[in-house]
Structure 1
């Protein structure tokens, strides 16, 4: 059965009637706000980069869980619409949009990126039927999961495409088989047997470099991407040792590594003997080697349209100077909240603190390696305060220093005596550490557009967010 109907969405029309035309200064808080202009710019940059580099593209929609932003991620035209979801509820909700694309002749491929378990068979079988041949892609990393793949084929009469998930050293060791291990070899043999029986098709190899969030510069992010490619390349060799003519899609990415591909388009700005220049040369060599084999390269990413403090801290692209490509101005998600109380002298060294009406339910509770806090207050709605010109770890000012369920405590880590005054009732905006988690507590996004000069705070749309699993 489909579960989407059990998580009813608020009426978009009713939300638009309530909010469109109002200022974000005049809405109930906390509120999740997206800047459409910044999102479109971030999406267009990624689409242009994969086009220029002749990579395939697969958009992960888990961060935002909306139809509207999915459209921006896949873009216009006739290119394939390749989507990744983390939950089946995302797949069920995006299905009407995928049918729309199919009706216009665009090829659609939806990847459920969680290793398939028996409890998912019924819903995934229905999705396979609804999408048709080649429409659904599954992920596996254990031999027992192949029983579920076979069951989905039996129920839908459609052989699903399958990605083998490869563990490339993600610090969390979340999922995936170790490349060149006995388990990896056994999985490849079994998948090729299913393909021979026309029960499933080994579509490709998939990796997620979650540990790339630890990157602190372009060279490191680029090298993480190279390591992803090398792990999949080695696994592809194993596939081709059994099936030499087998075509494979090698799908790599996490937002730091996927974002870093833009460095390849400005490689002339790095000297050959610099760390960045060496990392680019090594990555290009690996890409060239992959392209000599029967493999297509695909890039995937999810949080890049909205970005957050974690992504800014990776410095996967230049963050300052005339060639800056990743700055505070690219962060498209903010949480609007209200100052509920102020506490002069209560903080460290006698600095002030303030109570913010947004805690971990609104901001998330994931830390950021660049600073001690749970969110950074933007310059919005504060007289004389400008966008920071320094990196996140060097920024000084108001931050969410402590957090509980509904309480955020703003702390000042700037120069004592230079505190920017806050008042009860004042509305502020906060950049969260992790956009995916911060968004989860909201039923919809209020959308503004920073390109509307003089009306940057005016709500231009409302995007309902899918809930559940």
Structure 2
């Protein structure tokens, strides 16, 4: 099977030869995307530990980073558990195939879900993927009966390997999926069961993504979205079971806020919340877990941006503050101060120009409310801006320090948020590191990540590896 956009042969070795051993203050290209290995490993392990402790399945989304190296961390490279992956593009599936084959050789079962409703032009490439890895290696998402014809085409073209099907449920996000209790949902359930009976596919589960949970604020708030996701999936599972009693089903829910909320210490310890509202949330979660197990349903959570985190995730406060501060954000964009404009900012503050605009940081605002942070990135307490404050416990309502206040294609305008007398000076040529609003979008502007390791005391800024990203669709 041809990998359509794999990094060029030897690219990683060439990049390592060029950058490993350099520091972020050296003459590396700017802007550059940087990942801190120490933080990635902690964030990934927390998710593995939480799902293990709760006895639920885990499915890792790889769209945020598009690298083999970080995928290994997400699934636990040395574990022997089942490997479940989510991709948003076919090219992600094609590029991760060699790793999945490696895991198969080592005795691990694997499955990849294309988490975009199946479209006809993807059939031939997905069929090749399925033929390479064998039965039950491919899952697809459907939210319309007509998509099942493409599922049947994959089965035929792959040599008889029927794809596993997840029905996509709209968990009130309004992006994709069928609405529970709607005629369209009942029609799709009927069509999927008929396709399964005909041998075209296997109805494997129900899938929801609460993307609107990105707007949650406050400790435990995202758990309410998780509860709603599983409640909606359970209601559709009842419809399936009414038509096909005892049909096995996986209920897969998640987005980074809702999935990471299960890492809360009280959830892992099996304790109730610290007030009436949170106690209700934890009781609901426990009830869903127990009821699902009694009904023979299998629960799964999925998430993608949790290894790197970003300013958006910090704003949700989905996890306990002991597990989520700005110091847990693993991604930053290195930029250089190209000019300084004293007195041009609000209340006579300084503004500065950095060579990192929309193409380096993205242009996705943080979901929020009036008065909240509305910038395009926050400058990390590092280098020349080491004394600048980072986001604190009251972020995003309270926010100060250097932020990307305005943005265009190549230009980022740093604005000081706070009193002029507290301003941390920046000079032409200074390097800064910016935490982006959304790491998925920021990463898309780069061909590779420079890897540092915050555990290397005194050498925290030294490049220890380079991870090429996949390109294309």
TM over 0.5: yes
Post-superposition shift, 1:190?
1.4
The residue that corresponds to 1:203 in the other structure is: 204
| Contact 1:9 1:465 (8 Å CA) reproduced | no
The residue that corresponds to 2:323 in the other structure is: 325
The residue that corresponds to 1:423 in the other structure is: 427
The within-5 A match list for 1:212-361 is 212-263=213-264, 264-266=267-269, 268=271, 270-271=273-274, 273-319=275-321, 324-361=322-359
Greater than 2 Å deviation, 4+ residue runs:
5-10, 266-271, 382-393
| Contact 2:33 2:331 (8 Å CA) reproduced | yes
Post-superposition shift, 1:87?
0.1
List gaps (5 residues or longer) in structure 1.
none
Q: Confirm or deny that 1:437 pairs with 2:441.
A: yes
Instruction: Tell me: CA distance 1:251–1:9, structure 2 relative to 1, closer, same or farther (3 Å).
Output: farther
Post-superposition shift, 1:258?
0.1
Partner Cα separation in structure 2 for residue 278 and residue 125 of structure 1: 45
The residue that corresponds to 1:403 in the other structure is: 407
With normalisation by structure 2, the TM-score equals: 0.95
| Contact 2:124 2:154 (8 Å CA) reproduced | yes
Deviations 1:406-457 (A, max 9, x none): 0000001111222110000000000000000000000000000001111100
Number of residue pairs the alignment of both structures matches: 462
Partner Cα separation in structure 1 for residue 247 and residue 176 of structure 2: 24
Instruction: Tell me: CA distance 1:211–1:196, structure 2 relative to 1, closer, same or farther (3 Å).
Output: same
Partner Cα separation in structure 1 for residue 406 and residue 394 of structure 2: 21
Post-superposition shift, 1:286?
2.1
Find the residue that maps to 2:52 and give its secondary structure: helix
The residue that corresponds to 2:418 in the other structure is: 414
Cα RMSD between the aligned structures?
Answer: 1.5
Q: Confirm or deny that 1:167 pairs with 2:165.
A: no
Partner Cα separation in structure 1 for residue 169 and residue 387 of structure 2: 50
Find the residue that maps to 1:41 and give its secondary structure: helix
Instruction: Tell me: CA distance 1:286–1:347, structure 2 relative to 1, closer, same or farther (3 Å).
Output: same
Partner Cα separation in structure 2 for residue 332 and residue 5 of structure 1: 26
The residue that corresponds to 2:44 in the other structure is: 43
Deviations 1:144-188 (A, max 9, x none): 111111111111121111110000101xx1110111211111111
| Contact 2:389 2:401 (8 Å CA) reproduced | no
Deviations 1:363-395 (A, max 9, x none): 000011240100000011035446554432213
With normalisation by structure 1, the TM-score equals: 0.96
